[in-house]
Amino acid sequence: IRDELARIVGERAATDPHLHHLDGLDLYGAADHAELPLPDDLHPDPAAHRRIAERFAGHAFGLGGPFAPQEQ
């Protein structure tokens, strides 16, 4: 389902510059689970939340991100 969603967003983003997709595995993946496992196998603990938030902020607001400050 992740691949199909990325494909669809990729197609539609070609005509909609405001459509973006960020795969959740880029925020918290298998390596993260090995280091910061989900205590109840579903919800992140505070350390995992921090990691996810920092990565999201980097993707969303970092250079080239959809919410990054635009040059004027």
3-state SS class at 72: coil
How many Cβ atoms are within 10 Å of 52's Cβ, its own excluded? Answer: 17
> Can you tell me the mean pLDDT for 27-42?
97
Q: What is the mean pLDDT of residues 5-11?
A: 96
Share of the chain above pLDDT 90, in %: 93
φ/ψ of 70, rounded to 5, equals: -95, 140
Q: What percent of the chain has pLDDT over 70?
A: 99
